[in-house]
């Protein structure tokens, strides 16, 4: 059964930037400042068509700025498409900016309870799992400490641990495996393997080709908002790496020509 359907989706943002001004124009602009704002459309995704089956693990790869995070935010419902449609069947949790939902004045324990309710748990359910979550995130000594005193790594680990405790059928992840040390990353991978064995649907954005090859059943490659390749992780990663190698060779050649 298909649980995510992305049909002919385009997403365009409006970029507002300051026009160049003359000295005389500066004083006029103080009164009519809005006239000097230039509104430029930027298309982050172009006519993307994609489906994800229930229980499938999909990897999304591409260079920075290629539209990967935008696609996840569209699937999560954070953005609305400019054109096209997206349908999602099943409960969903999105790990896009780890720690973004925490309240800095609340303790680790209080944030676990609060975020758990946002993910659909009851307070009693989360209270029973506080110790388990704190242990996974390695924050037991700081459980009663306000989040504002946590390092960014501690907050990210706690956010991952809370999200992994949710019973959601679909999990969206944006570079979440980049947090923590090697031991914590290994535990994260083990947890994702467990979720995959439970037939949860995983959609993973990552710059780690090894992670995509290991965890994912299928992969897509985005470049400047366009879907360049779709297939097995091995095929798509190979195509992306070959493209990157060609680009790097062209850049190196251009630098060598400029230096000579």
Cα separation, 64 vs 222, in Å, equals 10
In a domain, 219, yes or no: yes
Q: What is the CATH number of the domain that holds 143?
A: 3.40.50.300
Task: Indicate whether 220 belongs to any domain.
Answer: yes
What is the residue-level pLDDT of the chain in tens, covering all 260 positions? 899 999 999 999 988 766 555 555 555 555 555 555 677 899 999 999 999 999 999 999 999 999 999 999 999 999 999 999 999 999 898 888 766 678 999 999 999 998 888 777 788 888 899 999 999 999 999 999 999 999 888 888 898 888 888 888 999 999 877 666 788 888 888 999 999 999 999 999 999 999 999 999 999 999 999 999 999 999 999 999 999 999 888 888 887 776 66
Count of Cβ atoms closer than 10 Å to residue 45 Cβ: 25
Q: What is the pLDDT of residue 135?
A: 93
Pairing mode of beta strands 83-88, 2-18? antiparallel
Rounded-to-integer distance, Cα 56 and Cα 169, Å: 11
From residue 33, alpha-carbon distances to 30, 54, 86 in Å are 5, 51, 38
Q: 20-52, pLDDT tens digit by residue?
A: 555 555 555 555 555 556 778 999 999 999 999
Residue 55 lies inside a defined structural domain of this protein: yes
Backbone angles phi, psi at 24, to 5 degrees: -65, -35
For residue 259, is it within any domain?
Answer: no
| Per-residue model confidence (pLDDT) at position 251 | 84
**Structural domains in the chain (count):** 1
Q: Does residue 163 fall inside a structural domain? A: yes
Of 18, 83, 59, 40, nearest in space to 222 by CA:
59
Domain range for 199: 2-249
pTM as predicted = 0.84
Provide the pLDDT for residue 186.
86
User: What is the per-residue pLDDT for 121?
Assistant: 78
Collapse the DSSP code of 237 into the 3-class scheme (helix H, G, I; strand E, B; otherwise coil) and give the result: helix
Return the pLDDT at 46: 97
Report whether 207 contacts 45 (CB < 8 A).
Answer: no
E-assigned strand segments in the chain: 2-18, 37-53, 57-61, 83-88, 92-95, 170-174, 201-205, 218-223, 226-231
| Beta-strand pair 83-88/218-223 | unpaired
Residue 258 lies in a domain: no
For residue 64, is it within any domain?
A: yes
Quick check: is 257 in a domain?
no
């Amino acid at each position: 059964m298909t649980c995510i359907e992305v049909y002919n989706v385009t997403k365009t943002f409006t970029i507002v930037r300051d026009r160049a001004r003359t000295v005389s124009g500066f004083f006029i602009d103080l009164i009519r400042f809005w006239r000097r704002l230039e509104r430029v459309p930027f298309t982050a995704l172009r006519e993307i068509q994609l489906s994800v089956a229930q229980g499938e693990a999909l990897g999304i790869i591409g260079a920075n700025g290629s539209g990967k995070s935008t696609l996840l935010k569209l699937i999560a419902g954070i953005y609305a498409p400019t054109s096209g449609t997206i349908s999602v069947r099943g409960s969903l949790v999105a790990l896009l900016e780890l720690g973004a939902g925490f309240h800095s004045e609340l303790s680790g324990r209080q944030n676990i309870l609060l975020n758990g309710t946002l993910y659909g748990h009851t307070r009693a359910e989360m209270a029973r799992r506080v110790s388990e979550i704190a242990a996974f995130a390695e924050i037991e000594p700081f459980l009663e400490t306000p989040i504002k005193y946590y390092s960014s790594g501690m907050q990210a680990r706690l956010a991952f641990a809370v999200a992994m405790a949710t019973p959601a059928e679909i999990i969206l992840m944006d570079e979440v495996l980049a947090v923590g040390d090697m031991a914590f990353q290994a535990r994260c991978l083990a947890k994702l393997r467990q979720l995959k064995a439970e037939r949860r649907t995983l959609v993973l954005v990552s710059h780690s080709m090894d992670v995509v090859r290991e965890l994912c059943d299928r992969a897509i490659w985005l470049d400047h908002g366009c879907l360049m390749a779709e297939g097995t992780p091995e095929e798509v990663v190979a195509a992306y790496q070959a493209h990157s190698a060609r680009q790097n060779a062209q850049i190196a050649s251009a630098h060598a020509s400029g230096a000579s």
